[in-house]
Chain A
Amino acid sequence: MNPFRRSPFVLVATVLVYTFLYAPIIGLVLYSFNASRANVTFEGFIPAFSERVVMDGSLVKSSPCGPFHWYCDLAKNDDVAEAAGNTLTIAVVATIVATVIGTMAAIALQRYDFKLKPFSQLSLYIPIVIPEIVMGIGVLTLFSQLFGWVNESFNLSGDARLSLGMATVTISHIAFMVPFVTLVVQARLQGFDKSFEEAAMDLGANEWTTFRRVTFPMILPGVMSGALLAFTLSLDDFVITFFTNGPGSTTLPIYVYGLLRRIITPQVNALSTVWILVVFTAVLLLQLIQNREQKQHS
């Protein structure tokens, strides 16, 4: 028996870790049902006995949605829908592009020796280690300089003028996601036996077919985890998005930040709860798929 197993220290540490990890989330979800508009103290659930929403001071006395009042409120909010749409569009596009580039980079770094290889490897870590705000300011400077120069040189005016928006956010996201994908895929490639590829070529497959039929299916789990990591990073990115977004490209984190600056209602909590549920379901599904695949393989 492991002597640490029964130690009170383990119990205390466990409770502390779980408290710090999950108490904020539980609180957040609980407050999304709050009757108080102020969102500072929990004033109980909202009862449902009226067709109308009855408000008394800062308290919501009754609502047709009952405790789900703030969720109904959220559903009526077109800005949220737009921000959610933007966030997903950016995340999906950026994930696909970053996964393709990142995977190719990982394979190249694994397979070939070239003069600048140590430099390339090191340069992968730079976007990860430098503060996000530095990168944010960097891309903003780049875009504004570049756009200014292009707009001026080509005499663009009106809608034709290049400006910050969905495209700039997506490009910036791709830029910071690529290193993450590359590192995750590289880890997967580390144990890759090149005799699988040799066997495919030996059996008559050219380089492309070998990649498509043998290499890619074998590294797919690594590519998937890289893509998932990139996707979640994009979903909740605030700093870089803050610097590179423009009119019409507000994402959820930016929108929530905007709400907080004006008035904090439990609508924010409702939004966050939905968000958590979506991410949680996605991760759960992915885990299930991976488990089933592993069972098939063994």
Chain B
Amino acid sequence: MASEFAVEMRDVVKRFITPEGNEMAAVDHVTMQIKNGEFFSMLGSSGCGKTTSLRMIAGFEWPTEGEVYIEGNAMGHTPPFQRKVNTVFQSYALFQHMTVYQNLAFGLEMEGAKEDEIKKRVGRALEMVQLTGMDRRRPRQLSGGQQQRVALARALVKTPDVLLLDEPLGALDLKLRKEMQLELKALQQQLGITFIYVTHDQEEALTMSDRIAVMSKGQVQQMGTPVEIYERPSNKFVADFIGESNFLEGKIKSLSKKEASVFIPGLNVEVTGMPISEGMVKGEEVVVSIRPEKIRIADKDTKSNNMFRAKVTNTVYIGADTHVYVDVHHTKLKVLEQNRISRLDPKSFYVVGQDVWLMLMPENTLVLKKD
């Protein structure tokens, strides 16, 4: 292959004119390098620029500034039909006036493939998505899940270098969506082609991706593996968007190379040994982020460091976990307890008003810059 990167966006800007006549940057100086064979996700809420970025790779939109490269080649104003990428649309965009077979054959006919070759490749693609025997049906005669598979097969039958997926599972129900997530991931590994996946569902992105770009307001907030994104969010937006977190104001009291001692007024305590990111200085006002599942609750003081007394204000049982809301010096915290043992007797668990001890492990907390 010509390039190490399947797709590269270099400093891409896309500006639109809003109906009110204002200029708006849907994509604002985005740079991404997507490696060959990678499952790459763009994650963000609507309007974050993820779909526009994908459309620029597909060729439906052209960048206002910057350049998109596919396999090392600058795309410029290359039309979609001359790019070796294929798209699975959110609405599937299946041709209603054609049968399933005709839908799949369409792309191969455009390549000028011979009829028996088309037949063979369409057959294989249908087999791959487990729709063998459905070739005479019309898209409208299929269920949502089947239509989704046809859309996938129609793109994959072209054997693209890169497959672009624009929220392809958005219209499916939860259970089917989870099944398809695993299936898509398995398919990607089996075929070895690059997937670029756009979604607003963080769980989906975490489940499938090798790497994720978290986007907001047209900019990439953080790019990294699911573990990096979750465990080491680079700013408060990412920490808040991915998973849940308790945010506490703090002030750096002293710091070494990689650790800091932070005073948290809300808890009226100074926590030592917190990991910090670069560029922080002594005395800086910061935000301390603590994931709910990373706080431990104990019935009594184990006399270790970083223990606080707290009062249980509410508990919510949701099957696999219980959310315990506690109050520490009028600061509210959320703690997630896994229900490792079945507790039929509600009294065997934390009750509202109970005094408990919280244990905070500094390595499980994050010190983030204030916005």
Contact = CB atoms under 8 A, between A and B. Distances in A.
Nearest to A199: B93
Interface string A194-207: 01101111111110
B20 interface: no
Interface residues on B, range: 20 to 34
B361 to A, nearest CB: 49
Contacts of A202: 58-60, 80-81, 85-87, 155
A118 to B, nearest CB: 14
Interface stretch (A62-70, A161-169, A173-181, A210-218): A210-218
Contact of A217 (B60, B79, B81, B97): B97
A209 interface: yes
B81 A201 contact: yes
Interface string B107-121: 100110000000000
A217 B102 CA distance: 14
Contacts of B97: 217-218, 297
Contact of A297 (B87, B91, B140, B158): B140
Contacts, number: 68
Nearest to B112: A204
B306 interface: no
Contacts of A199: 87, 89, 93-95, 154
Interface string B125-155: 0000000000000101100000000000011
A289 to B, nearest CB: 15
Contact of A205 (B85, B94, B110): B110
A198 B106 contact: no
A198 B81 CA distance: 9
A26 to B, nearest CB: 41
Nearest to A216: B97
Contacts of B141: 298
Give the residue among B59, B85, B90, B96 with the most A Cβ atoms within 10 A.
B96
A108 to B, nearest CB: 19
A82 B163 CA distance: 63
Contact of A200 (B96, B106, B111, B155): B106
Given A198-B93, A201-B80, 6 more contacts: A195-B93, A196-B93, A203-B158, A206-B79, A297-B138, A298-B140
The 4 A-B residue pairs with the shortest CB-CB distance, nearest first, are A204-B110, A203-B107, A199-B93, A195-B93
Interface of A: 193, 195-196, 198-206, 209, 213-214, 217-218, 296-298
17 contacts: A193-B93, A195-B91, A196-B93, A196-B95, A198-B89, A198-B93, A199-B87, A200-B95, A201-B59, A202-B81, A202-B155, A203-B86, A204-B81, A205-B81, A213-B106, A218-B96, A298-B140
